[in-house]
Each structure stands twice: as structure tokens, then as C-alpha cells.
Structure 1
């Protein structure tokens, strides 16, 4: 082979040729050579090498001219940067190919077209820089890509444009900031057969959770058509999460999340010579369906894991991957069209936890807007709205943007990166987790909220805002500047306690993040949070709304259940995804999931709840918990809860889930609940299923020896136990001064339960704030020999330290 070839077939390329073909092309060739035999499909093509790029630069005598412009560039001046980039790109685009290079490109393209059976086959023309897709630098989206390029003349124009894009403003700025020598970075161009995803779907996938750095999840985003609209943030894609460790078992379905996006448009092939691609609306029925099937989700996830495993072995260090995929609408086959090392969380030191937290809880009057949170930080500053970088629409231009302001815009693209790095936070109208604004903000460590819908219309320049991404997947914009703090904890410095400390986890969205904090598992995961926030409708309303004659209700429920077989399927799967995500985050540690414990007034607030709930004078001690599960009025809904647990344990393979029964008044009622569970396929002891009882009623304590015969453990609910032992309403300010879980009567109850449980060989734990808020209460529990203590995530670090001191007499 020629030592300096102008063109190389993709199937002859590998990672050793990075300096010749660039990161993107090297990775494609590596996969074709080494992963095709594992069933991973990568479209073929050819590479116009760095030698061809150098030849083009020399043929047009451009090197000295380019260096001169860059030498005179003031990198801190955005106008200077734009002028220099524009001058260089014009010089490159105005050049001509040498006859030799032009002929080689023509011949290779004709041969590729003949291979696919037509004269001018459709190809993707992608830039691939030599410093691109490195494990510690992404250069994401800095050079150009052209889709549906047909014919040799169109191909030559696209190649020129790719060459010129090495000098895009954002590329020049990025290289300068990262310390890359401009003259040392070269460009190659990949010419790859198009996958007809314009008739199918496409998207991106990560072998790591991009927000938390959780290693055991594959995150897949997808939408109909070509993938450009996802990156541009024009649409919100569907999102799927798969639990990696269970993928090898083909009998399991470890999909732990499916979220419907807003896929109202797609990008397809253009219909004229000058229009390579165009946007078209998506049929409403199609937009309300997931863009790929569950089988395709699992196939993609397995491919992503295969790719990660291969690159990890190749490099000798864990290498999470960022992958682009496409589904061909003609042959219905999946393809991988790009793969690169993930460059953010793979570089983060895993031995520490950095937590951002608001110093006060803002009232509802301060919450101005919500959107998709990117990262987990908080930022604050004055609003600065920008719609174009040059002010051509009559608005301010990029020069006016000051360090520390909050950038508010419709959507960013790679040209905005020099502005973005100056912002304290970013808010956009459009976009999803994998749009440009999200990718860059994540890399820069800037809190961003994308997909708000109308932030650019709602907020005014100079308005003070606080942007919080520290409260889960939903980012929140608050009025004014709210003080916040950040805490750094070195995990190696945390003590090990004899008493296992567990965590109460309400939100599935935060589970991956919390899993990094050392704990013995989850002592309480409440179904109510999942039902309230992800399902939103009363379970009986889901099942029976069509019989009510309420068209508005039926319309709202139909919207909620888009993409699922029916309303029952919607409830079971959404509940199972919420539970499954928490269970996966902490696997194989125990995760105790409490069946629903809404009170009737709380159920009434769910969509359609007023049709199915009684008006109770005192719902706190009324129809709640266990008494609902076997009742003819609610039993069908409880069956769906059981089906969700069964799906998590048996289909997802997350057998670490333990179920807990709340507010169970008598041992006889306990047996009725267990019998009802068995009717719905959940039998204690089968497939290792454990059942716990929430010990929150005096009867649970007094008859603990009888309850213990039917369960595997107790978990003390100290809030309800305190109010029912002392006979007071914890929500009443008139008697609030009497509420104290350290009261002797309450402690006597707890002491009795621990003694009985130990005598019966049954575990007993506590899930409440008392142990973290009151050191003397924690000391009491430890001295009594409690088996586990479960606290909220924000209390676990101080609880670990406090319990360690108690156990070692260091007070």
C-alpha cells in the first residue's frame, strides 16, 4: 500500500491509523474489522485521508496564509475570532482539487455506487479530525457533516466544505482552549453509504448515564428520520434506559425506562439537487408511538455494551462509549454509524461526591419555569437573551454578553460555544438531553435547562434568576438569586458502621446519582411518588374512565398512555420503570418498595380520583394501606401494583426488590393481603420474594409475634407510630409541641418491637429522619440493637459519621 494514500477503504482502516484518517473514521474501520463478526452492522465506504487534505492545502498554497491569520488572532475577542475563521474558510473553499486527487475521489465514489447497484448512490460525508474523539477531548460537532450527497460533483463540493470546517470558529476556539496546536490538527473525510433512516429512525446511545456517571446503564435516545434534528435540539427524542448487567440473559427484558418524546418533525431526503435534506411533519399517530420496538432497544443496548467492552479491552482502561445509530426503513435493520469514547464522566474522579444544594426551600411563588435538567449543578445571574450571534435580527450580539450572565435562547449550535463558556447557566426553548446545548454544557460543567418551550419569551434581560439542576431530571428556574452551597466528600474518608445505613429514595430520576453514596441499599422506596409524578392518574380512572362519560378526562388519560398497549399496560410499565430504576441503581443490595399508601384525600387529587374516592372526615386513619388491597373497590388496582413488582423481579431480573405492606391493622388483615398478592402472582418465598411490614401502628407492636409469623422483616415508620401512640394529629399546629418521636412511650414501643423481632428471628429497621436529626435517638436505636437505619440521601453522610462515633464510643 502507498505510504501516503489519498484514499483508503473503510474496511482497511483501524485505530492505529488515527493520524491518517482521524478519530471518527479510525473508529468506524476498527468496528468493521473487529465487531462485524459479533453481528454489529456498520455501513461501508471510504476515507479521504489527511494526506489528501495536506495535498489540497499545498496545491492551493494555503499553509502560510492560514498560519498568518491565526498568528494575528486575538482569541479573547469574539469578533476577531469570527473574522479570522471566516477568512480561512473562504480561502479553503475557494481552492481547487489537484487533477490526481479529484480523479481518485471520482473513481472511489463510482465503485461504491456500483457496489450498491446504482449510478450515484446516497452517501454521508463526514469530517474526521486527527485530534477528534479522543478519550479526553470530544471536539463534538465542530466539523461539518453532509447527508444524502449524490453524484461526484456534489461529493467534491461537500469534501471541500468539510476541509474548510476544520477552521470553524468553535473549532479554533476549542483547540486554543485545550492547548492543541492548530497546525498539528489535520482533517480527513469519511464517505459512507447512507442508512435510510429518513424512512426509519435514528439517534444516539451511551454506555453510561450521562448525567450521573452511573456505569451500569445504556441510555438510548431516538426519533424518526435522520438524526440531525436531535443534535440541533429541534425535537425532544424518545428516551430508553437499559440495565447492562442483565443484558446477557436473553430471557430477561431489563428495560428500566421508556419516555415518550415530542417527535413532531423529522428530517428526510430533499427532493432537489440543491436541497440535500428537508424537514417534514410527522404523522400524529406515529409521533405518539415509540420510534423503535423493545426488541430493537435490547439489540442496540447489547451492541453498545459489546462496543464498550471491545474498546475497554483495546485500551486497557474502562472506556464508556458515545454511539450514533440508525434504523433503515427499507430493510428494517439497525446500524452503528459512529462510535467515540465518552469524554465527560470517564474523566471524573470517582472517589469523590460533589453535591450542590439550595440553602433554602423556595416557595411555589418563586418557581418560574421547569425543563430538562443537564448536569446536577446550580447557577445564578442576570438574564441575557440572544437569538443570533451577530445581532442581525435587531437583538444584541455576542459582544454584549458578560461573564456570569444566564444565557437564554431558543437553541444553541456549535458556533455558540465561545459564548456558552462565559455563562453561569443556560436556558433554552428547545432541545433534549442529547442536543448540542446539553452536550456542551455537560462538558463545560455549566448547569443548563433545555426544552422549556418559551423561556426566551417569558424572561426579560437583566432579570435575576437561579437555575437549579440539583433536584433531579426536572430542572427548575427560580425568581431572584437564591444562595446555594456545594459539598465535596471524599468517599474513602467515610467510616464503615456496624449498623447498616440504608437510604430512603423517593425519585427514580435521582437513583443513579444517589447510588454513588455508600449505603446498604434502599430502606424505603415509596410507590406514591412514582404514581404521583410519572403516572398522574388514579389507577381506577385509568381502568374505567371510558364508562364515566367524561370526555376531558378520557382525552387527558389517552395523552398520558401514548405509546403503550392500553391504560393498564401504561400503569404497570410506568410503575415498573420507576421501581426498576431504583432497584437497578442499588443492585444487588436490598431495595424495599412500599406498596401504595395514599390516603383518600391524596388519591382524590390524582386525575379522575374524585370519581372513586370517598369523602372521609379523618383520612389519616381511614381507608389507606392494607385495607385497600383486598377490598372489592380497589383490588383490581392493587393487582396492577403486584404486576409491576412481578415485572421488575422476573422480567427485568431485579430480584433485590423486597415488598412492604403499610398500615396493616391486624394479623388477619395481613394474611388477607398476602392471599391477595398470591392471586396476582406474588407469593412470599417464591423466587426469593421477601415481604416486610411497616410497623407504624401500636397493634403492629403489641401483636408483633403474630405478624412475624407471616413476614421477613419490620420497618418502623416513626412518624405514624408517634402520632398514633400519642394520639395526636401531626399536621395540627395546636398539638405540634407534643409531637416527639423520642417520647418515652414511642421509644418503649420501638424497644418492644426490636426485642420481639429478634426473638422471632425477623429483621427490624427504621426509615425516618429521627436518627439523623437527633443523636440521642440514634444512640437509643443502636443500643437497642436495631438491624438497619434508613435516612434520606441528604442525611446519609452525617448519619454514617454519627453512628460510627456512637458505635466506637467516640462521643
Structure 2
């Protein structure tokens, strides 16, 4: 053991096969130092005590028989769990260090201090159980961690407390539930040089999306100061998502999501009596991102290296030293929830009616639950929890697990996706909404609420009992088809939920949804902020775009990132992004929009679509849309994105729009850019041959095409009986444009609702030779089945 005793071993002498000797955490640290250091992954140095040191402590203090007896009395029901845990911990805390073990620990500590060039180097003292991080048992948070430990006495005290923490109530309960023999699980202690993240930052990272199991993203949470606040859920961290397949290209920056957390507190170094303490963050710290883009990409690349080495999805902790600005990985373990989940079948939830929104936060899981609130402020009051109710509290830690298991759902004020509440909720299969900021203030015990995690990244809390549908989708039942079946997606927050579906890409991604939900500001109000007369709008824009010197960059960044999440879901399959298709009344509803939009009697057939893009009224706003698409394709790397122009009335208009796009860096054919046009106006059908010379494909918008072919307002209740997408005139239009597109060599698909609602309409489209049908995700399986049946009825091609 490289000259060291049997009680202590340096990290750089350990491999992951040493779990029985030093536990999962410590063996993993050694593995990364030995195997991944040359690939650039930095891990702080340190050493581990062995399982021999643990058993030696027990035997030298003569406490093995007492431990056995106390556990048996508890199992027999003679004592309570708290009494048993307290009694066993006292055995450790009153024990004396065997000389050989203490000498080995202190000798290793002094060697570490010498290496660091410090007399009393500050270290983190972590527990590492010798049965932890197995595929079905994470042991996460079951034992204690002590930070900023300095000096011989403080180190030995912290190590003794680590041994004792193997018998916290939660650790005993966890082992009992999992069937582990309490007297066969040993505890190793990891002593690791502290990274000065107290004046830097730290957080947690997963090489998989924690909510959907999407395996092509890295999720990073980040906060100022030491990392315990992120793990415990005591702080609302920044959250970043990075698309892994594009990380190997150093010219790209595939960060598909950046969300700034409130980060109201940070943990810093304290005194000898209290090694760490929480202090408020400054306004500047709250307003800033913890990590730069370059640091986000470095961590994401490390995550992929670690995942590739271990051969499974990984859960990691990282830290940035505030003195050197160097990044480090301080822990890595296998991810144990999503990677073990059944992938063939999943349930799809959708709200049909709901009460008013009471609060919202980050959604954990994808289910919907209704029930009564049980509000508990402190862990001291957990005995008041009502089984089967919805737990509402400020934050959770491992002491809360016993009642979390009995809850129907969980709602917290604080925490991110990697907080304790989020991790445990996933393990238990419970929907949770974390980081609401105010749930304990706006909800009360006995109140009927609905917890919805089925609407994307945002988890919603609704008043009362909502109505919802649940559908079970089984991927194994989906047939293959020659006709491509794609998805209509709008909400970036929900897009990753559908990655398991064998869709042929995205046939319609609605840009206006991203603008209205993720940005909410009229683009011209950002271009001409100085012209904005509405003071309330000015104030809101100033707050929303804080940190951006150029307000238009806020629009470009957020639009590109929102669309990137959709583009990533089915990469490298095509994703057709329709440029903004708001009506003037909808544009006017955006922040600052009233100053830039005309009043129209009939916005449905007014100043919308292509006519806006070259108009002086909106040309500069369209330029921002083009900048976002250019960033999406060129900087983030999503070359699978196809641009689509809506409501293009004439060939002259098509030429003007393509010219404006080229002026803004989007030239059809350059760098593989394809441009499609919506077919939703009779002129698109009548002049299909000419339109095909200017566009690479058509997408039939059957709602608008029906409206304009039949002269029926699709929103009119009086004329609802006349609005029929299967009317022979509409079907003639569709058959004609499919035929003309085929002759011209242009792609043609449909993105209307009709194929989802009417199986016979899907069969009609297949019989006419349409290339693709794009539908809502909940209709995908039914449409795919209808298409397969329609294809089976087509004449078989003759053998040549």
C-alpha cells in the first residue's frame, strides 16, 4: 500500500474495485485521479481510511457486542429507532483512537499539508460506506460530511463523528429497508484537500436529464460558496443544460438552457468552533451566473469523460476554487434513478380543467396528483404528517425521508433539481415541485390542491382538484412506416419528455410560443427601447434584461436556447422551426407591444406572417429572429434546424423574405440551410410549382387552408358545422399541392390537427403520397398505427 499502514491509503493508490476497502466515494475518487487525470479531469488530492481502520476502532474500544445487542433490542421492538441510534453513536463518540490508526491518519494528513504547502491544510472529511453506490442503493446523504476541518485534533474529532454517523436514524432505517446487515457494512473516511469554493462556487452535475432520462444532456446546478447548500436544497441554484453530442466540436457552444437561480445565501468558512456558516449573497451575486460559458462547457466535457469511463450515467459534485479559478470534481457516483427506469412504456398526463395557479417552481417527475396539503415547517413536527397528503415545507434533508415515503407529492420553498427533495422524490417515484419560494406562505394544511409536473420544466400548483387524463404509451407497440410521422412541439420545457418516442423529427416548432412564454417582450420594444412610452413596460424590460448591455441580445439568447431544447430532442433528425406567426393583437399583448402594433379589424387575415418580415414596422424584429436561428445553427451547432415561413401570400413576397433572411445571415442552401413554406393559403396551392422554386418544402396548415378555401372563420361557433378539413374542396387543395410538390422534387408534409382527430384523414394523406405527417405527442401512437394500416392497403410495387 505504497508504504502506508493498512489503515490509510492515498487516493492515487485506489481504484474503483476497492469499494469493499474504502467505499464507493473514495474508490471512485481514486479511480478518477489515476485514470482520468491525463484527460484533464481535476480531482483534489487526499486519502482514505480503510474498512480495517473502522473495525479496528470498534474492536480496540470493545463496542462490537454492545452494538450487536442494541440493534437486536431495536429489531425486537424493545427500544425505538432514535434511542438505538443515539446509544450506538455515543459508543463511537466516547471511544478513543487506537494509536496505530490515529498515527496513520495524522501522518497522511501532514503529508497532504506538505504537498499543499500549508501547515494545517483545510480538508473536507466525508463518509464513504463500503456498500454504497451500488446500482440499486445510492446511500446518498445517509452519512455525514464535515467541511473546513483544520489541525490534528479537529481532524480526529471529525473522523470519529464520521464513524458515528453510520448509525444516524436515517442510515439505520435505510440499511434495514434495503436488507443490509448493519454489522457487515463498514465506514471509510475520505479526507480531501478543500477547494476554496467558499470564495468561488460549487454544485452538482448529472450526465443525464434527471426528469426525463434523456441521455444526451448534462445537467449542472451551481451556487456561490460551498456545495452543501445545493445538495441540501437550501438554495435555489443556477441551472444549465448542455447537449453532449456536439461537445466534441470545440468551435461550438451547445448550451441549450441557462436559468439564473435566486442564490440568496452562500456557505463560507467560519471559525474553529463552527467551521462553516451561511451568509446572505450580494445583489451582484444574485444577478450573476456562477459559471461562465467556458466553465459550463468544461464541466460538461468532464461529465462525458467520466460517464464514458464508468459506462453508465453519473451523479457528480464539482467545485471552483475562488483563489485559482480552477475547477475540480470532488465526487462521482452512478446515477441510480433514471438509468434503472423502464424505457419501453411511460405514462402521459394532460390537464383538462384546472383552478387558478397558486404557485409554481421546478417540476420533478411528470405526473399529476390531487390531494390535501399537510404543511410542516420543521423536522421536529414530522409526527404530525397525515399519510397520503401532499407534503409542503421549506426544504428537506435525510431526516424527512420517513414521511416523504408516505406522501402523495412534495412541494418545497427552496431547492433545485439536484436538491435532497428532488433526488428523494425521484427515487420514490413521487411528483414534486421544488423552489417555489412561497409555497409555505400561500398554501395551508387541509387545502385541496393539484400538483402538476406534466407541463414541462415548470411545476404548477393549482387550487382545487383538477381534471386530467392519463395515457400509457408502449414504444414496443409502435409499427414502422414509410411515411414519416413527426411531432408538433412548442414548449421547450416539455420537449425532452418525448425523446423516447420513435418520431422522425419535429414537423412544427412554434417560435411564437417560445417568445410569448420564455421572453414575453416584443422584439421591437428591445430594438427601440428609447421609443417606448409605457413606463410599466419599460420597468419590466429593465428588470427582465438585467445583466444585458444590449437588450436585443436577451431576445436572441433566450430564443436560441428555447429552440435548442426542441432541436436537441430528436437530433440529428430534422426540426422545422416556423418563424413567428403572431397576429397583431397577440403581438400587442407582449410587453411593450402596444406601441408597435396597428389595430386591425380582422388580424387573422391581416398583418401576419411573411408580410411582417420585410415591412419597416417589423423588419428589425425579424432580424432578431434570424440572429437567433443563426446562433442556434452556427454557434450551438443544431444544423438539423429547418426554417419555415408562414402565411406567404405571393411569389414576390417569398422573394422579399428570402432576401431579408440572406441579409441577416440565413441564406437558403448555404451551410445546408433548408427553407420551407407553410401551405395555408389557396395561392400556395395554385402557384405551388412557382413556390417550389423558392422553397425546399411545404407544410400544409390544414386549419388556415380550410378556413380560406371555404371562407369559414374557424373560430365561429355559428359556422362550426361548415368547418371541415375533409370537405372535398379542401381535399382537392391538399391532393393538388402534394402532387405538384412531388413533381417539383420538394418535400411536403402536414402539421394540422386533422390527422390526429380523424383516422380516415391520415389514410387519405398516405394514399396521396404525402412525405410526412406531424402530430401532437399524445396522438403519435394512434396516428402511427393509422398510417401503418393505410400503407398496408396501398398497391405493392411490382418487382423489376
Deviations 1:89-118 (CA, angstroms, capped at 9, x unpaired): 222222221222222222222222122122
**Residues 1:422 and 2:421 are matched in the alignment:** no
**Residues 1:541 and 2:533 are matched in the alignment:** no
Q: How big is the shift at 1:493?
A: 2.1
TM-score by length of 2: 0.96
Q: How big is the shift at 1:290?
A: 1.0
TM-score by length of 1: 0.95
Q: How big is the shift at 1:772?
A: 1.7
Relative to structure 1, is the Cα distance of residues 388 and 70 closer, same or farther in structure 2, using a 3 angstrom cutoff?
farther
Deviations 1:456-513 (CA, angstroms, capped at 9, x unpaired): 2222222222212112111122333345554433322211122111100111112222
| In structure 2, C-alpha distance between the alignment counterparts of 1:532 and 1:429, rounded to whole Å | 26
The answer as to whether partners of 1:208 and 1:217 remain within 8 angstroms in 2 is: yes
Select which of 536, 549, 555 maps to 1:571.
Answer: 555
Select which of 432, 450, 461 maps to 1:448.
Answer: 432
Relative to structure 1, is the Cα distance of residues 712 and 181 closer, same or farther in structure 2, using a 3 angstrom cutoff?
same
Select which of 505, 509, 512 maps to 1:521.
Answer: 505
Tell me how large the CA RMSD over aligned residues is.
1.8
2:128 aligned residue = 128
2:25 aligned residue = 24
Select which of 776, 784, 798 maps to 2:760.
Answer: 776
**Residues 1:344 and 2:311 are matched in the alignment:** no
The answer as to whether partners of 2:201 and 2:319 remain within 8 angstroms in 1 is: yes
SS in 2 for 1:184: coil
Deviations 1:415-438 (CA, angstroms, capped at 9, x unpaired): 111110111101111111111100
Q: How big is the shift at 1:558?
A: 2.6
Query: Counterparts of 1:118-517 in structure 2 under 5 Å?
Result: 118-270=118-270, 272-312=271-311, 319-350=312-343, 352-358=344-350, 361-363=352-354, 365-390=355-380, 397-482=381-466, 484=468, 486-517=470-501
The answer as to whether partners of 1:75 and 1:173 remain within 8 angstroms in 2 is: no
| In structure 2, C-alpha distance between the alignment counterparts of 1:4 and 1:25, rounded to whole Å | 17
Relative to structure 1, is the Cα distance of residues 483 and 595 closer, same or farther in structure 2, using a 3 angstrom cutoff?
closer
Q: How big is the shift at 1:22?
A: 0.6
| In structure 2, C-alpha distance between the alignment counterparts of 1:758 and 1:737, rounded to whole Å | 33
Query: Counterparts of 1:686-697 in structure 2 under 5 Å?
Result: 686-697=670-681
1:393 aligned residue = none
1:801 aligned residue = 785
The answer as to whether partners of 1:197 and 1:327 remain within 8 angstroms in 2 is: yes
Relative to structure 1, is the Cα distance of residues 420 and 676 closer, same or farther in structure 2, using a 3 angstrom cutoff?
same
The answer as to whether partners of 2:348 and 2:778 remain within 8 angstroms in 1 is: no
SS in 1 for 2:624: helix
SS in 2 for 1:694: strand
The answer as to whether partners of 2:689 and 2:741 remain within 8 angstroms in 1 is: yes
Deviations 1:23-79 (CA, angstroms, capped at 9, x unpaired): 0000000111111111111100111221111111112222222222222336999x9
| In structure 2, C-alpha distance between the alignment counterparts of 1:127 and 1:508, rounded to whole Å | 39
2:797 aligned residue = none
Relative to structure 1, is the Cα distance of residues 143 and 611 closer, same or farther in structure 2, using a 3 angstrom cutoff?
same
SS in 2 for 1:449: strand
Q: How big is the shift at 1:747?
A: 1.1
The answer as to whether partners of 1:601 and 1:619 remain within 8 angstroms in 2 is: yes
1:633 aligned residue = 617
The answer as to whether partners of 1:714 and 1:764 remain within 8 angstroms in 2 is: yes
Deviations 1:109-130 (CA, angstroms, capped at 9, x unpaired): 2222122122111111111111
**Residues 1:621 and 2:605 are matched in the alignment:** yes
Deviations 1:296-351 (CA, angstroms, capped at 9, x unpaired): 11111111111111111xxxxxx01111111111111111111111111111122x
Relative to structure 1, is the Cα distance of residues 74 and 602 closer, same or farther in structure 2, using a 3 angstrom cutoff?
farther
Number of aligned residue pairs = 793
1:750 aligned residue = 734
The answer as to whether partners of 1:232 and 1:431 remain within 8 angstroms in 2 is: yes
The answer as to whether partners of 1:535 and 1:575 remain within 8 angstroms in 2 is: yes
The answer as to whether partners of 2:401 and 2:424 remain within 8 angstroms in 1 is: yes
The answer as to whether partners of 1:524 and 1:592 remain within 8 angstroms in 2 is: yes
The answer as to whether partners of 1:356 and 1:378 remain within 8 angstroms in 2 is: no
Q: How big is the shift at 1:220?
A: 1.1
| In structure 1, C-alpha distance between the alignment counterparts of 2:155 and 2:538, rounded to whole Å | 52
| In structure 1, C-alpha distance between the alignment counterparts of 2:461 and 2:280, rounded to whole Å | 31
**Residues 1:593 and 2:577 are matched in the alignment:** yes
| In structure 2, C-alpha distance between the alignment counterparts of 1:548 and 1:464, rounded to whole Å | 43
Q: How big is the shift at 1:540?
A: 1.0
SS in 2 for 1:361: strand
**Residues 1:104 and 2:104 are matched in the alignment:** yes
Q: How big is the shift at 1:286?
A: 2.6
Where does structure 2 lack aligned partners over 5 or more consecutive residues? 795-800
The answer as to whether partners of 2:4 and 2:104 remain within 8 angstroms in 1 is: no
| In structure 1, C-alpha distance between the alignment counterparts of 2:298 and 2:87, rounded to whole Å | 46
Relative to structure 1, is the Cα distance of residues 450 and 74 closer, same or farther in structure 2, using a 3 angstrom cutoff?
farther
The answer as to whether partners of 1:375 and 1:448 remain within 8 angstroms in 2 is: yes
SS in 1 for 2:716: coil
| In structure 2, C-alpha distance between the alignment counterparts of 1:3 and 1:608, rounded to whole Å | 69
1:56 aligned residue = 57
1:315 aligned residue = none
Deviations 1:238-263 (CA, angstroms, capped at 9, x unpaired): 11111111111111111111111112
Q: How big is the shift at 1:228?
A: 1.2
Q: How big is the shift at 1:745?
A: 1.6
Q: How big is the shift at 1:185?
A: 1.2
Select which of 726, 740, 747 maps to 2:724.
Answer: 740
| In structure 2, C-alpha distance between the alignment counterparts of 1:752 and 1:111, rounded to whole Å | 81
Relative to structure 1, is the Cα distance of residues 202 and 468 closer, same or farther in structure 2, using a 3 angstrom cutoff?
same
SS in 1 for 2:662: helix
Deviations 1:186-234 (CA, angstroms, capped at 9, x unpaired): 1011110011111111111111111111111111111111111112222
Where does structure 1 lack aligned partners over 5 or more consecutive residues? 313-318, 391-396
| In structure 2, C-alpha distance between the alignment counterparts of 1:448 and 1:10, rounded to whole Å | 37
Deviations 1:625-668 (CA, angstroms, capped at 9, x unpaired): 10111111211111111111111111122111000000111010
| In structure 1, C-alpha distance between the alignment counterparts of 2:488 and 2:71, rounded to whole Å | 56
The answer as to whether partners of 2:508 and 2:577 remain within 8 angstroms in 1 is: yes
Deviations 1:724-764 (CA, angstroms, capped at 9, x unpaired): 11212222222222211111221111111111111111111
SS in 1 for 2:731: helix
Q: How big is the shift at 1:519?
A: 0.9
With 534-543 and 787-796 compared, the bigger mean Cα shift is at: 534-543
Q: How big is the shift at 1:281?
A: 2.0
Q: How big is the shift at 1:719?
A: 1.0
Q: How big is the shift at 1:716?
A: 0.4
Relative to structure 1, is the Cα distance of residues 562 and 71 closer, same or farther in structure 2, using a 3 angstrom cutoff?
farther
Relative to structure 1, is the Cα distance of residues 642 and 744 closer, same or farther in structure 2, using a 3 angstrom cutoff?
same
1:607 aligned residue = 591
1:659 aligned residue = 643
| In structure 1, C-alpha distance between the alignment counterparts of 2:548 and 2:16, rounded to whole Å | 42
| In structure 1, C-alpha distance between the alignment counterparts of 2:379 and 2:719, rounded to whole Å | 60
**Residues 1:13 and 2:14 are matched in the alignment:** yes
The answer as to whether partners of 1:404 and 1:423 remain within 8 angstroms in 2 is: yes
